[in-house]
Amino acid sequence: MRRAENWIFAPETARRLAGVRIGLCLLLAYRLAVRDYDAFAARHVRFLPHFYMDVFPHMPSPGLASVLQALGIAAALLAAFGLALRITLPVAFVCALILDGILNSAGRVLVRDALLMLSLILIIAAGRAAGDAWAVRAPNRTGVGARYGWPIRTAMLVIALAYFFAAFQKWRYSGFAWVTSDNLRWILYAQPHPNGLALFVADRPLLAHLLAAGALLLETCFPLILFVPALRWLLIPAAVSMHVAIQIALRLDYSAQWLTLVIVFVNWPVVVDWVRRTLAPVPTPRESAR
Amino acid sequence: MLEAPRYARPFVVVFVGMLVVCALAPLNLWPFSNWELFSRLRDPVVNSWVAVVSAHDVRVRDLPIGPHTGCNAFLRSVTARFGPATGVRIYRVERLLPDGDESHPALPYRTLVVACAPRGARASS
């Protein structure tokens, strides 16, 4: 227990937390911008409120959805710049929560943005620390400490557990038959109009079994990413590939999930320093001699 | 070295605890999901539910609906959308998946589940 606590509350830099804040806020703004919430609210007159959406007596109106969308995008962008974080971040989060609630209250609950929203809760909980660097009108501290480490590391733990629990539920409800049966083939065939990739895999039972085994192994082993940092080079690209393949074959968009994974696990100050070094002009021999 | 705030430790315990409880219970308190993504086995028969709505001036066929759609709630929503509905018939449609033979797809088979009318529902025998 002490080791787990030491891991979560290990020091990180203010710049790393700021990098995660900027990435998650830009991703949230993008997710809010690309979806047509008002059309969805207008189309789905049947309102099956999920969880907190019980506070609404009926499906929120298209007008309200449009206002929340605009407000959410503006607040998320301001939060990415680090402006008035204690207001902009919660406003962006609440707008997204209601808009996701609209999508989740038409009969089917979508997991897709859940990891993004959970990670945003942690950035909100970090308070002013999230705006200590890489922000307009910020102290631009080069601080280091657990103050910046715990939100990032808790987000890492949450992401690793999310993938693990996705595997855990497959073991729980289906067992090894999830791999050995024709389950994956039926998932691919069951679409209204399966595309070429879906049919290519579904028509080849051995390939379908191999891909099912790979996906289950990846999700089951995902928590290793926390203990063996070198495995991040293997497991993160594998998870991204899995989500992209699902997007192509099943047309299910899990980009919010895999982008959250990348944003939280990449050490952005290292990337920025590397880019600066790479792009910095090389001094000519005459300048070097001065 | 800057320390974590005092609330951070209990916050992490509650936050991660919520994640674990929702997965194990399972509870879907979004965004605390139960993570039951494709966790149950599929078989080669796909069931879907459709409604055929009769109103005064329109007849809408095969409106996709969920398996647990209740008569009264559905009648209310179709009345709001199409005007006063005179009747709604809900069918279960079974479709056998092709198993690599897309050239001879099996025809879907439909069974009447319930006929809804403003006076009340009548279950299929």
Per-residue pLDDT of chain A (290 residues; tens, 9 = 90+): 888 999 999 999 999 999 999 999 999 999 999 999 988 888 876 788 888 999 998 889 999 999 999 999 999 999 999 999 999 999 999 999 999 999 998 878 888 999 999 999 999 999 999 999 998 876 666 789 999 999 999 999 999 999 999 999 999 999 999 999 999 999 998 887 889 999 999 999 999 999 999 999 999 999 999 999 999 999 999 999 999 999 999 999 999 999 999 999 999 999 999 999 998 877 766 665 55
Cβ of A100 under 8 Å from any chain B Cβ?
yes
Which of A8, A266, A32, A50 minimizes the C-alpha distance to A158?
A8
Q: Determine which of B15, B16, B19, B42 to mutate to test the interface with A (most A C-beta atoms within 10 Å).
A: B42
Cβ of A243 under 8 Å from any chain B Cβ?
no
Query: In whole angstroms, how far apart are CA A200 and each of A207, A248, B95?
Result: 9, 12, 21
CB contact under 8 A, B28 and A51: yes
Torsion region of A137: left, alpha or beta (phi above 0 gives left; psi -120 to 50 gives alpha): left
Question: Does residue B114 contact residue B71 with C-beta atoms inside 8 Å?
Answer: yes
Considering only CB atoms, which chain A residues are within 8 Å of B65? 46
Write the single-letter amino acid at B77: S
Which of B107, B97, B104, B55 minimizes the C-alpha distance to B78?
B55
CB contact under 8 A, A172 and B39: yes
Helices marked H in A81-182 = 85-104, 114-125, 146-173, 177-180
Closest to A125 (Cβ–Cβ): which among B11, B19, B102? B11
Tell me the shortest Cα–Cα distance from A161 to chain B, in angstroms.
8
Alpha carbon distance A90, A93 (integer Å): 5
Cα-trace Rg, chain A: 22
Closest to A169 (Cβ–Cβ): which among B30, B35, B65? B35
Closest to B35 (Cβ–Cβ): which among A121, A162, A187? A162
Q: Is A79 strand, coil or helix?
A: helix
Q: Determine which of A46, A110, A154, A258 to mutate to test the interface with B (most B C-beta atoms within 10 Å).
A: A46
Tell me the shortest Cα–Cα distance from B34 to chain A, in angstroms.
8
* Residue B93 phi, psi (nearest 5): -110, 125
Contacts of B123 by beta carbon, 8 Å cutoff, 6+ apart: B113, B114
CB contact under 8 A, B15 and A5: no
B85 has which bridge partners? B55
The four Cα atoms B79, B84, B86, B90 give a dihedral, to 10 degrees, of -10
Position A290 scores a pLDDT of: 58
Higher-scoring residue by pLDDT: B46, B122: B46
Q: What length does chain B have?
A: 125
Q: Determine which of A13, A31, A111, A180 to mutate to test the interface with B (most B C-beta atoms within 10 Å).
A: A111
Position A30 scores a pLDDT of: 97
Tell me the shortest Cα–Cα distance from A83 to chain B, in angstroms.
21
Alpha carbon distance A275, A76 (integer Å): 26
Cβ of B6 under 8 Å from any chain A Cβ?
no
CB contact under 8 A, A158 and B16: yes
Between helix A255-265 and helix A14-34 the angle, nearest 10°, is 170
> What's the first-to-final CA gap in chain B, in angstroms?
74
- The two tokens of residue A66 are 């449009």
CB contact under 8 A, B42 and A203: no
Confidence label for B86 from pLDDT (cuts 50, 70 and 90): low
Compare all CA atoms of chain A with the CA of B42 and give the residue at the minimum distance: A183
Confidence label for B67 from pLDDT (cuts 50, 70 and 90): confident
Does the pTM surpass 0.95? The reply is no
